[in-house]
Amino acid sequence: MAERTSLATQRRTDESIERSADEIRQDIIADRETIADTVDRLGDRLHQTLDWREYIAEYPAVALGLAAGSGILLSALFRREPTPQERIMDAVAELTEDLTDRISGVAGAVITRKILPGRTVKAAATAMIAKAAIDLAKRKFGDAVAGRRFDRPSVESRTSQALSNL
C-alpha cells in the first residue's frame, strides 16, 4: 500500500514538473466548469425530486389521501379528553335514554293491546279540544251578555277562585 502511494505521488510530481503554469490554469478552469455543471445538474435533479407541486400535479389522489390521513392522525393525537363532569353527564344521558326506551317499549305494548291504535286517542283528543273551546265560548259570551269588561283578573282573585273550585 505504501508503495502505491509513493508511486502515485511520484507520478504527480513528474507530471506537474512537465506541465506549464498555463496548462495547469486551463485544467483548473475546465475542472471548475465541469464541477459547476455537475452541481447545477445535481441541483436541478434534487429540485425535481423534492418539488411537492409536481407530485401533487401528477398524483392528486395520493396527495389528497396523504392530507386526509395526516389530518386524522393529528386530530387523534390532539384529541381533548372529556372532563369527569362530562363523563358523568354522558353516563346519565345514556341511562335516561335506556330507561325511556324501556318504558316506551312497555307502555307502547300496553297501549297497543288495550286501545285501538289511533282512532281512540284521536277521538279523545278531539273531544277534549272541543269541550275546552265550548267552555271558552260560553265564558266569553256570558261576559259579553252581562256587560262585563274583559280585564284579566288579579293574581289574588285567580288564587281564591282556584281554591274555591277545590
pLDDT in tens, 39-98: 999 998 888 888 888 888 888 999 999 999 999 999 888 888 888 888 888 888 898 888
Which pTM value belongs to this model?
A: 0.28
**127 with 109, same domain?**
no
**141 with 98, same domain?**
no
**126 with 73, same domain?**
no
- What's the Cα-to-Cα distance from 152 to each of 13, 73, 149, rounded to whole Å? 123, 64, 9
**110 with 122, same domain?**
no
Q: How many domains does the chain have?
A: 3
**18 with 62, same domain?**
yes
Which triple of cell numbers denotes residue 8? 502515485
Q: Which domain holds residue 135?
A: 118-148
Does residue 65 belong to any structural domain of this protein? Answer: yes
